[in-house]
Each structure stands twice: as C-alpha cells, then as structure tokens.
A and B are shown apart, each in its own frame.
Chain A
Amino acid sequence: DVKVTQSSRYLVKRTGEKVFLECVQDMDHENMFWYRQDPGLGLRLIYFSYDVKMKEKGDIPEGYSVSREKKERFSLILESASTNQTSMYLCASSLWGLAGGLWYEQYFGPGTRLTVT
C-alpha cells in the first residue's frame, strides 16, 4: 500500500526558531514535493526534488530550504520561522514520467499543521 508519512500532524514553534519538517515515502518514488495549503489559495509548491541531492525551487521558496540525502526522505527547513509561515504543509511523492499519456499520480501525506507564534 502506498504511503507517505510526515513526522508531525501538529507543530507549534516560536518566531525565529529553525523548524524541520520530515517526509518519508515507501514507494521508491523519484519525485518528492513540498506544498503549503492556505484557504483560498489552494496548494502552492515550495520545493521539489527529482532525485537524491537534487532540488528545484517551486513557486514560493522564499524563507524555506530543503534536503534530500536519501531517496525516501525529503525534509523542509524553515531557517527562521515567521508568523506568515503558519500554514498546513503537505508532502507528496510520485514516479517520474508518463503512464498512458498522463503524468504519474502524486501521493500526499496527511499534512503538518504548523503554527508560528
């Protein structure tokens, strides 16, 4: 069964703290993604990775960094948390490429609700 797990469901941090969000997938997927979800804005891509040690910026990378040292693990790092980073963070993974002309499905974890006070 496909599984993407995230280290915490809820997290409360203080402004200025360094925050690590961890994501692990057990499907041997090449691609991994970090999104943030905010009401009225949908899901916005922060960073993604096509392979180990490889990363590319998404649409809103400012204030974030990522690390992918192993294929199954993708970490999102908030270098100095700010209140405007309070949000739901979703990790996803997928195979790379097409199947029947359609991109492979992205599988999402349950999310981490981060509150920065």
Chain B
Amino acid sequence: QQQVKQSPQSLIVQKGGISIINCAYENTAFDYFPWYQQFPGKGPALLIAIRPDVSEKKEGRFTISFNKSAKQFSLHIMDSQPGDSATYFCAASASNTGKLIFGQGTTLQVKP
C-alpha cells in the first residue's frame, strides 16, 4: 500500500532548465509534506517542507507547490544545475505521529 505516489521515476534536464517532480497522496490526515535530497553514498537530507495551509513555499531555486483539493504537491527546481543531480524523495506525515511516509523517489540528472 503506497500512500504517497511519486513521479517520474527518473528525469533528465538540461542545465538552466526547470525540473518538476510530482507527488500525490491519499490520506487526508497528512499535514506535513517535506522533500528530501539524497546524493550517492549519502543519507537523505531535508531540502524544503510545507504545511497544507499554504499553497506555495520557495527557498532559493526550490519551490513546493501544494494543491490540497487535488491531494497533490510538487517540487520545482528552477535554473537546474549539475550539482542538483541527486535522488529526490517526497514524504508526508500526519500530525502527532512524527512518522514520514516516503514516495518512491526520483533520480534527477542535470546535463551540463
């Protein structure tokens, strides 16, 4: 039972382009949506996170867009750079649990 579905599985973008990764969830009790970034040989690290009372959050070149009615959220990476090449995971959590449910992951390659 996959409660958070992530797409695409892999993504290739040219340097300077926009990378978009999408996630959909089913559990309406989820109220915290982080994105984690993982480089080869490393553990995932928090990139950006949002609560459903806002529709968008931006930190530098990274933006989360959130659509509560559609139960979808996405990560946009503007001006993608080769250093952004990594695996990205969306996740969701319900309040008072502290547990994260992760999506399947997206491997991003940014070509120079």
Contacts and interface: CB of A to CB of B under 8 A. Distances in A.
Interface of A: 4, 31, 35, 39-45, 48, 50, 58-59, 90, 92, 94, 96, 101-103, 105-111
Contacts of A109: 43
A57 to B, nearest CB: 11
Given A41-B104, A43-B89, A44-B102, A110 B49 contact: no
A108 B45 contact: yes
B62 to A, nearest CB: 15
Contacts of B100: 43, 45, 106
Q: How large is the interface on B (under 10, 10 to 19, 20 to 34, 35 or more residues)?
A: 20 to 34
22 contacts: A35-B102, A40-B9, A40-B104, A41-B104, A42-B6, A42-B89, A42-B103, A43-B89, A43-B100, A43-B102, A43-B105, A45-B101, A50-B98, A58-B99, A90-B43, A94-B98, A102-B32, A102-B34, A102-B49, A103-B49, A103-B93, A107-B45
B32 A103 contact: yes
A96 B104 contact: no
The 7 closest A-B pairs by CB, nearest first: A108-B43, A43-B102, A42-B102, A105-B46, A42-B104, A42-B105, A108-B44
A51 B42 CA distance: 26
Nearest to A104: B98
